[in-house]
Each structure stands twice: as C-alpha cells, then as structure tokens.
Amino acid sequence: MTRTPDHPPPVQRGPGFLAEAKDAVTLRAAVLVFGVLALQLAFITSYIGAFHEPTPHEVPLAVVAPTQPVAREAAGRLADLPGDPLDTRVVTDEATARKQIENREIDGALVVRPRSTSDTLLVASASGASLSQAIEETVADAQRAERRSLTVVDVVPDSPGDARGLSSFYLVIGWCVGGYLCAAVLAISAGARPANTHRALIRLGVLLVYSIVAGLLGTVIAGPILGALTGSVPALWGLGSLLVFTVGAITLALQGLAGIVGIGLAILLVVVLGNPSAGGAYPYPLLPPFWKAIGPALPPGAGTFAARSITYFRGQAMTGPMLVLSAWAVGGALLTLLCARLRREPAPGSAERSGPPSADRTGA
C-alpha cells in the first residue's frame, strides 16, 4: 500500500514582479523609450515655438512714388516702425515692383499717390495668405496714422482650389513622409544597416524607383485630380521625385550611422525641425529667428518654396532650393554607401540573421 504524504509538495513560485520587469524591459528598450519621450517633447517645443506668436520681421517691401523724395520719405517712415516689421527699398515704378513680386524678390509693394488720400498695396497671396495679411495689417496701421486709406491688389493670387496657399506645403509634407517611411520599411524588413555596398546600392535603387512613382502620383492627385495645384505637372513631378529621394537618402544615411535609431534622427530632422520651419502655415518672415534661419536649409522648406514657385511664379527663384535638395540627396547617398563600405563584409556563404531588426543587425 502506498503511503499518502502528510504534507503536499511546496508550490513552485515564479520570479517576482521586479525580476519580470527587468526581463521584459531591457536597458536598451528603456533607453529607446526615453529617446521617444525626448523626440515627443522636441516635437511639441518646435511646433509651438514656431507657431505660437507669428510676427512680421523685415518683410521685403518696395515703395513707389512719382518722385524719389516722396518715395524715400514713405520708405523711411515704414522702415522705422517699431519691431522692424518691414525691410523697405525704393523702386522706380509700379511695373518694376510687380515684376519683383512675380520674381519672388520682394513680398509686397506700396504705391504712393500724393494727389490722392488713398495708396495702393500690392501683395501676392500665393506666397502665403498669412504673410500677405500681415503686410496689409502693418501697412494699413501706418496709413491710418497718416490719415490715408489703402487699396489692396493681389498681384499673384492663389488658385480657388488652394485655400490659403497651403496645398503645396501639404504635398511636400506627404512626399517627405513617404521618403523616410520607405527607408524605414527597408530597415524593418531587412536590418537597419545594409550588409555591404551592393546591398546599399540596392536600397538606393529601390528608393529611387519609389521616389519616381511617389512624385508622379502626388503631383497627379494635387493637380489634375483635386485641382489644388495648377503648375507644370512635369516640374512638380521632378521636384517630388527629388524630394522623396532626398528624405529617404537622409534616413538611410542616418540608419547607416546609428542603426534603427537613425529613423528617429530622421524624424527629428525632417518632421520636428523641418516641418514647422518650412514656411507653409507661416512663411519665413513671420517665423522666430531660429526657425527662419534653418527653414531654407532643410528639405521641407526648400520643397515648399520650390512647389509654390512652380505653381504660381513660373519657377522663379528656385536655384537655391534645388541646390539644397540636391546637396542633401547626394550627401545622403554617399554617406549610405560609405557606412556600408566601412562595415565588415560577411563571410562567403554566411546566412543573415532573421528576427526583429536591431541597431547591429545587417541586411539587404
């Protein structure tokens, strides 16, 4: 007969909560979580910092009058306004002022008519409705102090389907999102860092094909389908393809330098810093000094300025933005190849690891 034990065997207890927490949240995961928190706070700071108090500062404005003394007097009066909202210069006639606005050399012009109690203000809402409104309000206040009225003429208006001239900005943002998401997907599917230069070239080739398709489809949606942007389809297509490739190449380069963390660095550069400084919702003259300084040098700012130039200004003043985008694209591609070249080549016949990507994983 089998004897029943007087006491049941002790219950095996699992590890405690703290031990489970340490096993579930590794040090690397904790560091990444804090990195996400920092990125979130930077996003909030950048957007609110750029947009919370838009104020015109040194907006380029021409002054036209029948005689040079009258023009200089009016220009000096506007230049001396508190806070330096306007950067005035005298031009010879109204036709010259209009041409400079159309060439994006200035943002507005005041045509002084001494024999009348009303002057004419020329603006271009296609450069941004918020900017033209700021110019109008600033000049109107100065006119009221002189007991003069103001007639506003929109020299380059935005199209009916492009409310407040924001469609070009949103198109550029969409292209930028596609660029870094395409590069991020390549990292998630096959490793953050390419295993060798051949794999890096393949990634850049995939990105190039994606950029051409994304540039075309974005242009067709914004133009022929929705009727928001009526500029040249080939020109916008070329801009979109370059912009998508540029942002994707930047993301690939940062992934080559920092692994999966490079995706976060790309978001910091393009989204956190680039979007609020792009001159979309508020053009450069309305932004605080920091965002006004960095905007033209980042892809979203260069892309937004170029898209507006193509749509409304016959492609004027695009040399600077195109050089910016080209420099980022070439630099990102070369850095991607360099990072891959400096990595140790895998042994012949060795298989790549499978599983979740990490900062040290290699792949296609």
- One-letter identity of residue 147: R
pLDDT per residue over 43-82, tens digit each?
A: 999 999 999 999 999 999 999 999 999 999 999 999 999 9
pLDDT given at position 24? 64
pLDDT per residue over 297-323, tens digit each?
A: 999 999 999 999 999 999 999 999 999
Residue 201 is inside which H or E element, if any? helix 197-220
In sequence order, what are the residues at sequence separation of 6 or more whose Cβ sits closer than 8 angstroms to the Cβ of residue 107?
Answer: 59, 60, 61, 101, 123, 124, 127, 131, 132, 135, 283, 285
Return the SS3 of 10.
coil
Pick the CATH number of 59-154 from 3.40.50, 3.60.21, 1.10.3470, 1.10.150: 3.40.50
In sequence order, what are the residues at sequence separation of 6 or more whose Cβ sits closer than 8 angstroms to the Cβ of residue 220?
Answer: 233
Structure tokens at 7: 């006491």
Q: How far apart are the first and last CA of the chain?
A: 68
Residue ranges in the chain whose pLDDT is less than 50: 347-363
Structure tokens at 238: 């070329």
Residue 111 is inside which H or E element, if any? strand 108-111
In sequence order, what are the residues at sequence separation of 6 or more whose Cβ sits closer than 8 angstroms to the Cβ of residue 65?
Answer: 71, 74, 90, 111, 112, 114
Domain boundaries, the chain: 59-154, 163-363
What is the DSSP code string of 303-357?
HHHHHHHHHHSTTTT-HHHHHHHHHHHHHHHHHHHHHHHHSPPPPTTPPPP-SS-
